[in-house]
Chains A and B, each alone.
Chain A
Amino acid sequence: MANWQWFHKWGSPRWFYYLSGRLLPWLAVPALLLLVGGCIWGLAFVPADFKQGNSFRIIYIHVPAAAVAMGGYMLMAVAAAVHLIWRMKLAAIVMKSAAPIGAALTFLALFTGAVWGKPTWGTWWVWDARITSVLILFFLYLGLIALHQAFENRDAAARACAVLAIVGAVNIPIIYWSVEWWYSLHQPASIKFVGESTIHPTMLRPLMATLSGMYLFFGWVLLLFVRAEILERERNTRWAQELLGGDVRGG
């Protein structure tokens, strides 16, 4: 049973609040450095693409936003499954907290994609497989937020959202392979898990910076939302009141 101890510890809101507090600066500082540094690098210190010109620089925000929007959805779906199977309350909090962040990042992926499409394809929008499936991802995130708010009872809301999150996960592989399966204006992935990447290292390095920065940013903001939700729910417990004792005396 000793192996399961970490699971119960991290699953306890009190422990999570304590440990996540120590983790915050380790996410915040590299997230800001990588995002800001990678953007400056990609905007001003990388040569323009020989086909697309300077518009290709949008890649440094578009790809990280889209990748983390999808990765965030998978995290949310895993949290949903953990909540349904083990009834872990913290997993329900993680699931609920990931939705608004994912929605914002999906919006950014769609917005920057449209702005990139205009000078590159000559149109803001096409109903092709990649773009449509990302639009569905956006609606899934919004649907989860709306569904959660529609319930009076918190546990019923979490169960309904968990089912929707798991079913919606089917969309993620569709987004990923949409550019291979269907004819599409959208270019195929330049960074591949298998085989040679089709992007020059000079252009790739700043992308790696903003991509990892975006993942860290997601983790940072997710922890902040989770911590707020934990405190709201645990406000009548002794540990929360003792932890924030200083604030009480202050007024």
Chain B
Amino acid sequence: MVFSSLSELWQMAGHGPYVWSSFGVSALVLAGLLLESLRRNRAARALVASATRRRQAERQHSSQ
């Protein structure tokens, strides 16, 4: 490490607020994108599941 302590790494000789806010906001936005894409996949799988149940119910209904 080029900094001699963690507090120096945090302060970055006065540039800490700029550097860490950039990386912090970026981490939040990228994590948000990833979570949203996973949530969309879960929702889509639930849609397929309910469409399957509807089809099975219709098939049972028509065979009775």
Name A residues whose Cβ lies closer than 8 Å to a Cβ of B. 35, 39, 43-48, 53-55, 57-58, 61-62, 65, 100-101, 104, 107-108, 111-112, 115-116, 118-119, 217, 220-221, 224-225, 227-232, 234-236, 240-241, 244-245, 247-248, 251
- With A46-B2, A48-B2, A55-B15 known as contacts, the answer to whether A221 contacts B33 (CB < 8 A) is yes
When distances are taken between beta carbons in the complex, the residues of chain A under 8 Å from B32 are 104
A128 to chain B, nearest CB (A): 20
When distances are taken between beta carbons in the complex, the residues of chain B under 8 Å from A53 are 12-15
When distances are taken between beta carbons in the complex, the residues of chain A under 8 Å from B1 are 44-45
Q: Which of B25-59 contact A (CB under 8 A)?
A: 25-26, 29-30, 32-34, 36-38, 40-41, 43-45, 47-49, 51-53, 55-56
- Once bound together, how far apart are the Cα atoms of A245 and B55, in whole Å? 13
- With A43-B19, A57-B19, A115-B22 known as contacts, the answer to whether A228 contacts B52 (CB < 8 A) is no
B55 to chain A, nearest CB (A): 7
When distances are taken between beta carbons in the complex, the residues of chain A under 8 Å from B52 are 241, 244-245, 248
Q: Return 11 A-B CB contacts under 8 Å, by A number.
A: A35-B30, A54-B12, A54-B14, A111-B25, A112-B26, A115-B18, A115-B22, A119-B18, A231-B45, A231-B48, A248-B52
- With A47-B2, A221-B34 known as contacts, the answer to whether A236 contacts B51 (CB < 8 A) is yes
Interface of A is mostly: helix
When distances are taken between beta carbons in the complex, the residues of chain B under 8 Å from A45 are 1-2
Is B2 a contact partner of A111 (Cβ separation < 8 A)?
no
